[in-house]
Amino acid sequence: MSEYDVINTRAARVDASDKVRGRAVYVDDIKMPGMLYGALLQSPLAHGELLNIDTSAAERLPGVKSVVTYKEAGLVKYGVSPARYDETLFCHDKVRHVGDNIAAVAATDLDTALEAVSLIKVEYRELPAVFTVEEAMAEGAPALHAAYPRNITAEVHDEFGDVAAAFKKCDLIKTSSLVNKRQDAAFIEPQGCLASYDFSGNLTVYSSTQVPHYLQRIIAMVLGLPVGKVRVIKPYVGGGFGPKAGASHLELAACLLSMKTGKPVKMNFDRQQVFMHGRARHQFFHTMTTGVKKDGAIMALEHKCYLNGGAYSSFGIATVYYAGSLLGGPYKLPNMKYDGYRVFTNLPACGAQRGHGGVIARACWEQQLDMIAEELGMDPIELRLKNMMKAGDVTCNFLDMSSLGMKECVEAVRDRSGWKEKKGKLPPGKGIGMSCGFFVSGAGYPIYRSDTFHGTVIIKLTEDGGTALVYTASAEIGQGSDTTFAMIAAEAMGIPLECVRLESGDTDFGVDLGAYSSRQTLMTGLATKEAGEDIKRQVLEVLSEELHVPIEDMDIKKGFIVFRKEKPDFSALRTRYIKEHRGWTDNPGMDEELSFKEASRIAFLSRGSIVGKGKYKPPELGGTHKGAAVGTSPAYGCSAQVVELSVDEGTGKINIEKMTDAHDCGLAINRTSVEGQMNGSLSMGLGEALFEEVKFDDKGRVLNDDLAEYKITRALDMPAIEPIIIESKEPNGPFGAKEVGEGAIMPAIPAILNAVYDAIGVRIFELPMKPERVYMAIKEYRRKKEEALRSSEGKAPGGSAKK
């Protein structure tokens, strides 16, 4: 039996009733009187000098209300990290990728806006473009940004311990690599916004953003408005996964057009523009060398990585740090060296996507650990358990594992999947593989350098005492954060979930850094808990004054006052309450327990509005080296996974049959939501492992800019999943809770890679594992094996590739 009344249950989501009826409002569902429609003019060239922009024909088109270019927008630079602000609202000197933004139009309807865009005449001088890391870093390559020689956005060179010295003491040193393909987050709702500038000088922006707070600041900075004049409201959002975690040209252009016209302006990306905007997972080229002792003890990791970043920095400077720092755990690793390069190319910018920076690094290393285990003759699970950190350990790069249910996760998936009965015993073509992973529960520092609180929450009781209004600027984007915070608030106040009404996603409600880095459950959760406890304290203070019972002898549980010692006579108080509600039909009987509703009405009569406040910012975390902030977090979620699959050796097609997945989320606030995040993460990881790849032609144009050719996981592709929740009770989290949203994807790709090897005896070092790639790998493997056999024995092998 849980010690909690509201949390740690399977409560229905607070937004589900509206969503299942089609009643939930998303940004494109909003319309306003006099609303105009905006459209963007985007570059057809990957790299070109802008010689002239002629908007006169567009401006003459009937129905067009405003045409804006850099001349109207100005040249304030923005981006994600202030250290790498490298975008302007519109291009002014050159375009850097197909889809770069040149101008925007507002008109009375979308067709007119699009026609006007087609009437804008732009003269370019085409410049040579670079699309690959090699081209971009080559001597004499054209520079995308003058300030960044060799097109390097950022480079990282870190060494913790002494890798070279450690390698000398190792019994086995293994090198391998892994490359993935650029991803698209493929949220089902394309980005959209509606900006409305009023005649008092206030700008209200409805946006499908993950980060209302950062968007508010960037809009204010770029358009020269006081922050207090910009209000960002996030309605329901149809998925984010990373790319919606930054300000976009769409939002800034809509704001500018609304300011120019004095009318509300709606703008949406279509699906092609979602791909052209990009900002999802980078392409990573990892090479890793790991040294171990005979007994499997991991001694050192040397790691090099190049990231193809596209035309702007976006999150890239953080991504290149994460790609290194997140290998610090969950294994004891005394020595680690990392060299990372994030490189500009003439493609849409890459940014952050679920598991930011760490996913492909994790996949590369976890595959390598399996290779090492095999050479040592160890079971891969045994190797991992031997090296596993435990709660209280600190990584060589100063990440503090304040709780770590990693061992419990590994043991759970081992036992529940039947690992011991299956590993090494499956028939040819069938395989089993496993992997671990871990991730931050919120970035330890804000994106801009600041001592700001990462989250503030206000709870106000309604005057009748019956309802608690929770106000948070956090971002519900589908992950269930509204439900999580309503549950935390109810638990902290001691009232039923039905008595909580939560409003979120509005910058007028306070500061919240938003939905990224799996931060909200822990950070906004702690602020919510503090606000709830503040409410409870205030109500009990008034009760204490009225009833002369010490506060410490009272509590609130399930909506009623609990008197720990003798129950006082509260009949006078109740009579007052009932007198206030003459004619009401739900007044309490004289023999009932004293309710929270009565107590908080009395508190209102005594003190006026009862408002509880909560706030959270992490303590100082991490080391003092350059970039030490990236990877720090007040807590780390972790997970382990076993995948069972089959490979058709005739076609190379992989069929994932079962996933057994355990995730340590500290404490599950909502068990159904935790499992939902686990299942969703695995589905995304499966897609990345098997199909997903944004492809370009030789002019830098996206070839598969739709959801048919960019294939994501469908219902038919999903295997059965057994989700196992591990609860390690995180000391730094609200009621012990920490992340699940991103960490759960970490083991998915490497577990599949390891299972594929188990099935066919061939290692794959390039993603996605499409049938043709797997088939070619099998063929190549057989050819090499035959050659080897011919030279040794002179006879040809037959049957399966599996040893």
Partner 1 sequence: MKKLIRVTVNGVEYEVAVKPNQTLVDMIRYDLGLTGTKNGCGEGDCGACTVILDGTPVNSCLVLAMQADGRTITTIEGVEGKDGLHPLQQAFIEKGAIQCGFCTPGMVLSAKNLLDENPHPTEDEIREGISGNLCRCTGYLQIIDAVKSVSK
Enumerate binding residues for partner 1 (CB under 8 A). Answer: 10, 12-13, 15-26, 28-29, 31, 185-190, 236-239, 241, 270-271, 477-480, 672-673, 675-676, 679-684, 706-708, 712-716, 718, 720-721
Q: How far is the CB of 58 from partner 1 (least distance, A)?
A: 21
Q: How far is the CB of 704 from partner 1 (least distance, A)?
A: 11
Q: How far is the CB of 687 from partner 1 (least distance, A)?
A: 9
Query: In this structure, how many other beta carbons lie within 10 angstroms of the beta carbon of residue 743?
Result: 29
Is the Cβ of residue 236 or residue 312 nearer to partner 1 in the bound state?
A: 236
Is the Cβ of residue 263 or residue 266 nearer to partner 1 in the bound state?
A: 266
Q: How far is the CB of 782 from partner 1 (least distance, A)?
A: 34
Rounded Cα–Cα distance for residues 718 and 411 (Å): 24
Q: How far is the CB of 243 from partner 1 (least distance, A)?
A: 12
Is the Cβ of residue 187 or residue 577 nearer to partner 1 in the bound state?
A: 187
Is the Cβ of residue 644 or residue 758 nearer to partner 1 in the bound state?
A: 644
- CA separation (Å) from 212 to 42, 436, 628, 663? 25, 33, 26, 29
Q: Cβ contacts of residue 460 below 8 Å, gap of 6+?
A: 468, 469, 471, 609, 610, 611, 612
Q: Cβ contacts of residue 377 below 8 Å, gap of 6+?
A: none
Is the Cβ of residue 236 or residue 284 nearer to partner 1 in the bound state?
A: 236
Is the Cβ of residue 184 or residue 598 nearer to partner 1 in the bound state?
A: 184
- Torsion, CA 264, CA 242, CA 501, CA 503, rounded to 10: -30
Q: How far is the CB of 475 from partner 1 (least distance, A)?
A: 12
Q: Any idea what the Cα angle at residue 456 is, between residues 452 and 462, rounded to 5°?
A: 155
Is the Cβ of residue 12 or residue 788 nearer to partner 1 in the bound state?
A: 12
SS3 for 83-127, per residue? HHCCECCCCCCEECCCCCEEEEEEECCHHHHHHHHHHCEEEEEEC
Is the Cβ of residue 459 or residue 746 nearer to partner 1 in the bound state?
A: 746
CB 644 within 8 A of CB 752: no
Q: How far is the CB of 723 from partner 1 (least distance, A)?
A: 9
Q: Cβ contacts of residue 326 below 8 Å, gap of 6+?
A: 357, 358, 361, 362, 438, 439, 440, 631
Query: Which phi and psi angles does 59 have, rounded to 5°?
Result: -65, -30
Rounded Cα–Cα distance for residues 654 and 651 (Å): 9
Q: How far is the CB of 12 from partner 1 (least distance, A)?
A: 5
Rounded Cα–Cα distance for residues 14 and 333 (Å): 43
Give the CA count within 13 Å in the CB-facing half-sphere of 419: 23
Is the Cβ of residue 295 or residue 706 nearer to partner 1 in the bound state?
A: 706
CB 343 within 8 A of CB 308: yes
Q: How far is the CB of 681 from partner 1 (least distance, A)?
A: 8
SS3 for 658-700, per residue? EEEEEEECCCCCEHHHHHHHHHHHHHHHHHHHHCCCCCECCCC
Rounded Cα–Cα distance for residues 194 and 28 (Å): 8
Is the Cβ of residue 367 or residue 673 nearer to partner 1 in the bound state?
A: 673
Q: How far is the CB of 390 from partner 1 (least distance, A)?
A: 30
Q: Considering just the CA atoms, what is the radius of gyration of the chain in Å?
A: 28
